A and B are shown apart, each in its own frame.
Chain A
Amino acid sequence: MTRLDHRFLLCTALAAFLAPEAGGAYAQRLMAVDLDKSTITFVSKQMSVPVEGKFGKFSVQLDFDAAKPSEGRVRVELDLASIDTGSDEANDEVKGKGWFDVKNHPAARFVSSAVKSVGASRYEVAGKLTIKGRTKDVVAPFTVKPVGQGAVFDGAFALKRLDYGIGEGVWSDTDTVADEVQVKFRISATGGTPKK
């Protein structure tokens, strides 16, 4: 056995010891995101009716190690024009000036500033969310579960659409479309180097 192998074994043992709840396949540094198995969805309420939508295109840069959660980092970039609200009519509408104004603000961005552990396999990420040129602080709880060779990050948070000017003018009436929007993310990642 080479010296490198010894160090590797030691590190693995140490990681397993420091994060006993982690165990399994994700006791490793997760950096390679599998976008095909990742989703970013949202639920808005229209006349008290929950309606689900999703984003077709986004990129995620991730660096997370269950042994050192506080060093975790994530950066998500959303292509707002890839929004699918569930109907063609609404898809056209929300790309317009009063909603996302995708011509002038094609992307939304989340950049983490801190990650902390809040229980067994449960964490919280804080960061800045920028939509339509407006930046707000966001905190999202998430879980990490080992799946296959990697792990799945599952989390959600609520944002207030009017904080970002999403749905202005006649649409700012929150009796019809509620201010609060639930955003849910599911990110699949494996160890190794980030995929491009």
Chain B
Amino acid sequence: MNTAPRPSPARYTVTAIALHWLTAALIVASIGLGLYMVGLKLSPLKLRLYSWHKWVGVTIFLLIAARLIWRAAHSPPPPPATSPKWQQGAAAVNHWLLYMLLVCIPISGWLMSSAYGVPVVYLGVIRLPDLVRKNKELADALKTLHETLAFTMLALVAVHAVAALKHHLLDRDDVLHRMLPLVRPRQGRGQ
């Protein structure tokens, strides 16, 4: 039995990797749906896309909740020691801001929907409670908040992705690899 302290993991767990990429795909889907649907004239398609957008949003919220619970029990691999301290700090801040936004954006959308008088029915089956009453002014304010948070998140996602590519292509370290499914760490690195 090994009683020594557990060494820092070199890679993210399979669960963390799965949650990361599933969330990433759903963020792309929800942003795409969101940007497209708001410009549509009222039609059955528009109603369908709005519902799908809400379902994706609720799913992202659930995945983030699962991610946070998982993360509390499984520490992620440490940042590469070769990175400057400010970059390590910036990466951590960006991660936590993304978690926060991915919790707040679905909630703001849910409240907005209630305020517009349209309850959210997840997957057309589970009706979420309306935490606010129908109120046009509140709904419009929540819409602005929802959009602002979403665009902020998009900017932070861009920073997150560019930083991952910089580690991979310029620093040639293990940062991207350890979050990729089905690949081994680069030889001689990340130990």
Distance between B116 CB and nearest chain A CB, rounded to angstroms: 7
- For A51, the chain B residues whose CB sits under 8 A away are 117-119
| Partner among B44, B50, B51 whose Cβ is within 8 Å of the Cβ of A170 | B44
For residue B47, which residues in chain A have a CB less than 8 angstroms away from its CB?
Answer: 46-47, 176-177
Q: Which residues of A contact B134 (CB under 8 A)?
A: 86
B44 touches which one: A48, A89, A90, A177 (CB < 8 A)? A177
> For the complex, what is the distance from the CA of A20 to the CA of B117, rounded to whole Å?
42
Q: Which residue of A lies closest to B134 (CB)?
A: A86
User: Whole-angstrom distance between the alpha carbons of A89 and B118 in the complex?
Assistant: 14
Question: How far is B37's CA from A174's CA once the two chains are assembled, in angstroms?
Answer: 20
Interface residues on B, range: 10 to 19
Q: Indicate whether B92 reaches chain A with its CB closer than 8 angstroms.
A: no
Judging by beta carbons under 8 Å apart, are A89 and B124 in contact?
Answer: no
B158: chain A residues within 8 A (beta carbon): none
CB distance from B143 to the nearest CB of A (A): 12
Residues of B within 8 A of A86 (CB): 116-118, 134
Contact code string B30-55 (vs A, CB < 8 Å = 1, else 0): 00000000000011100110110000
Given the known interface contacts A86-B134, A176-B48, A177-B47, the answer about A48 and B116 at a Cβ–Cβ threshold of 8 Å is no
Count, A-B residue pairs, CB within 8 A: 41
- The CA-CA distance from A52 to B117 in the complex, in Å, is 7
Known interface pairs A47-B51, A48-B124; A176-B44 also in contact (CB < 8 Å)? yes
CB distance from B54 to the nearest CB of A (A): 9
List the B side residues contacting A90 at CB < 8 Å: 42
User: Which residues of chain A are within 8 angstroms of B117 by Cβ–Cβ distance?
Assistant: 51-52, 86-87
Does B170 have its Cβ within 8 Å of any Cβ on chain A? Answer: no
A172, closest chain B residue (CB): B44
B32 → chain A, closest Cβ, in Å?
Answer: 19
Contact B124 A47 (CB under 8 A): yes
B81 at the interface (CB under 8 A from A): no
Q: Which residue of A lies closest to B120 (CB)?
A: A49
B-facing residues in A7-56 (Cβ within 8 Å) = 46-52
Residue B25 interfacial (CB < 8 Å): no
Determine the chain B residues whose CB is within 8 A of the CB of A124 once the complex forms: none
Q: Is A171 an interface residue (CB 8 A)?
A: yes
Question: Chain B residues near A171 (CB, 8 Å)?
Answer: 44
- In the complex, A163 has a CB within 8 A of chain B: no
Does B1 sit at the interface, judged by CB under 8 A? no
Q: Does A173 have its Cβ within 8 Å of any Cβ on chain B?
A: yes
- Distance A171 CA – B124 CA, assembled complex (angstroms): 18
Question: Is A49's CB under 8 angstroms from B44's CB?
Answer: no
Is A154 in the interface zone, CB < 8 Å from B?
Answer: no
> What residues of chain B lie closer than 8 Å to A52, measured between beta carbons?
117
- Does A93 have its Cβ within 8 Å of any Cβ on chain B? yes
A48 surroundings in chain B (CB, below 8 A): 121, 124-125
- Could you tell me if A93 and B42 are in contact, using CB atoms closer than 8 angstroms? yes
Q: In the assembled complex, how far is the CB of residue B59 from the closest CB belonging to chain A, in whole angstroms? A: 16
B185 to chain A, nearest CB (A): 46
Q: Which of B43, B116, B121 contacts A47 (CB 8 A)?
A: B121
Q: CA–CA, A26 to B162, complex, Å?
A: 74
Chain A nearest CB from B104 CB (Å) reads 23
Chain B residue with the shortest CB-CB distance to A85: B117
Q: Mark A86-109, 1 if CB is under 8 A from B, else 0.
A: 110110010000000000000000
Residues of chain A within 8 A (CB-CB) of B48 are 47, 176
* 8 A-B residue pairs with CB within 8 Å: A46-B118, A48-B121, A48-B125, A49-B119, A51-B117, A86-B117, A86-B118, A173-B44
Interface residues of A (CB under 8 A from B): 46-52, 86-87, 89-90, 93, 170-171, 173, 176-177
